[in-house]
Structure 1
Amino acid sequence: MTREIRSWLSDMDGVLVHEGTALPGAAEFVTALRDAERPFLVLTNNSIFTPRDLAARLRTSGLDVPEHAIWTSALATAQFLTDQMPGGSAYTIGEAGLTTALYEAGYTLTSSSPDFVVLGETRTYSFEAITQAIRLIQGGARFIATNPDVTGPSADGDLPATGAVAAMISAATGRQPYFVGKPNPVMMRSALNRIGAHSETTVMVGDRMDTDVVAGIEAGLHTVLVLSGSTRREDVERFPFRPSEITDSVADLVARV
């Protein structure tokens, strides 16, 4: 790295953990960040869980990440909506991570003439809830989605995710959502603001070119692609942009914290 690095942003799945198991070097990487008192955040597009839930899950994996060091697409969405319309109202499709973030941001959750329809991740998508969202959007509610991911991982294979359900609602309404999560730089800027970091002195570590790396590039960060997740080295050539560097895993970054 040629820049002076003071702060770190890291994706979670594929960088620190995989299906509930810590990846090689992840525990040492987190410990190094905490021991050096480096400002850092663990980022995830998953809007299902609250930071407290995710911190508990990471502890089970052997990673000691405090909840204040976790930034989800749900939190970024709540921050975005607060900036757009403080004290507004929203009809939500999602779980505790999203509803808690909106509630704590001062939003009223309602199905009666909401300002926004906010779509997040859930494992129990309801036809009735989707129908309600479609009618509210047709009635004038603005359409927001926490993240554009069309599939999510599970032990049995891919699951339909926020982006896929958003496409269905868009097909029915003719309205495209505004996606807040990665790769939108909005999520990256909100993360930087949360830890008081500057883009010139911050690294983004991720395992996906189409979300982590491009988001870091567009936010002006130094980007590190790790090969411990979904992207292989040969995949990089398919993209019209490149990370600042490529490494096997976060184990290679421990000594550089």
Structure 2
Amino acid sequence: MTYEGYFIDLDGTIYQGKNSFPSGKRFIERLRQNDKQFMFVTNNATRTPEQVQRTLADEHDIHVDMTQIYTSAMATADYVSRLAEVKKVLVIGEIGLHQALAAKGLTIVTRGNADAVVVGLNRELKYDDLMYATLAIQNGAKFIATNIDTNLPNEKGMIPGAGTVVAAVQTATQQQPIIIGKPYTPIMEGALQRAQLDVKQVIMVGDNYKTDIQAGINLKMDTLLVYSGISTKSQIKAEQIKPTHEVDSLDDWVIE
């Protein structure tokens, strides 16, 4: 089937931490040769788009422009900025999330009253971060999560993801967050809006059934699972709804 656009995961799909996948670079080159539109849609909210761009270029020799990068931090900022009642946001996260929210004109705080609490991965997390987020939510702030990934593929292995931080706040507040990242639809809808494409024109490419592929399924978008990261063939056999397509390597995918 022919697709005009490709939404592509990064960690575990194009690379794993600092380890490059040569098939990933070749895949992007083939998309360009075939004049396909593509966008990296990643749940990683820790980095700014500029940092993602530099990482792709410096560590993996993949060169893209800023319009081809959409992170869960950007999707979260897009979502929160549309909430008329939210002006002040308490944030647990790193520079990518802080910068995305600030770019939308939102006031960022780390303690005290807030209209919303936004939680993402913070690798320098302290108890006070959890305490102030908990208190703000108990006082009526909306609880929003960038994503709930349990793990993040890394050259060291599967390290703890944003879901571990979100779970701590959930435990303390006994409240469920609004979730922006894959497999939930806000990030996918935001990417479609930026790409100016219809869901039927796009295929979602990723290594994780629970996030990448489920995101496509939830939006009724075709999906391509590559067995280079988290999901395994034995796991997929147990799933009732299969990916539209499956490949061992991105080199195996024929671009039409």
Q: Distance in 1 between matches of 2:244 and 2:73?
A: 28
Gaps of 5+ in 2: none
Is 2:97 aligned against 1:98? Answer: yes
Q: Distance in 1 between matches of 2:63 and 2:20?
A: 11
Q: Is the 2:86–2:116 Cα contact (8 Å) retained in structure 1?
A: no
Task: Give percent identity, aligned residues only.
Answer: 33
Gaps of 5+ in 1: none
1:232 aligns with 232
2:46 aligns with 48
1:160 Cα deviation after fit = 2.7
1:69 aligns with 68
- Mean alpha-carbon deviation: is it higher for 177-186 or for 161-170? 161-170
1:86 Cα deviation after fit = 7.2
Which letter does structure 2 place at the counterpart of 1:124? E
Aligned ranges for residues 115-126 of structure 1 at < 5 Å?
115-126=115-126
Which letter does structure 2 place at the counterpart of 1:172? A
Aligned ranges for residues 20-39 of structure 1 at < 5 Å?
20-39=18-37
Q: Distance in 1 between matches of 2:172 and 2:132?
A: 12
Structure 1-normalised TM-score?
0.93
Q: Distance in 1 between matches of 2:156 and 2:227?
A: 22
2:200 aligns with 200
1:10 aligns with 8
Is 2:106 aligned against 1:107? Answer: yes
1:79 aligns with 78
Which letter does structure 1 place at the counterpart of 2:92? I
Q: Is the 1:30–1:64 Cα contact (8 Å) retained in structure 2?
A: no
1:152 aligns with 152
Q: 1:142 to 1:87 in 2, by over 3 A?
A: closer
1:89 aligns with 88
1:139-184 per-residue CA deviation (whole Å, 9 max, x = no partner) reads 1111111001122234444433221222221121111111110000
CA RMSD of aligned residues (A): 1.6
Q: Distance in 1 between matches of 2:35 and 2:104?
A: 28
Is 2:56 aligned against 1:58? Answer: yes
2:141 aligns with 141
- Mean alpha-carbon deviation: is it higher for 17-26 or for 181-190? 17-26
1:50-104 per-residue CA deviation (whole Å, 9 max, x = no partner) reads 1110111111211112232111110010011112237622010111100000011
1:102-150 per-residue CA deviation (whole Å, 9 max, x = no partner) reads 0111111123421101011121011111111111111111111100112
Q: Distance in 2 between matches of 1:26 and 1:168?
A: 34
1:166 aligns with 166
Q: Distance in 1 between matches of 2:170 and 2:203?
A: 35
Count how many residue pairs are aligned between Structure 1 and Structure 2: 254
Q: Distance in 2 between matches of 1:38 and 1:153?
A: 27
Which letter does structure 1 place at the counterpart of 2:46? I
1:209 aligns with 209
Q: Is the 2:49–2:69 Cα contact (8 Å) retained in structure 1?
A: yes
Q: Aligned with 2:22: secondary structure?
A: coil
1:182-210 per-residue CA deviation (whole Å, 9 max, x = no partner) reads 00011111111111111111111111111
Q: Distance in 2 between matches of 1:18 and 1:153?
A: 6
Q: Distance in 2 between matches of 1:177 and 1:147?
A: 10
Q: Is the 1:39–1:197 Cα contact (8 Å) retained in structure 2?
A: no
Q: Is the 1:54–1:67 Cα contact (8 Å) retained in structure 2?
A: no
Which letter does structure 1 place at the counterpart of 2:70? W
Q: Is the 1:30–1:65 Cα contact (8 Å) retained in structure 2?
A: no
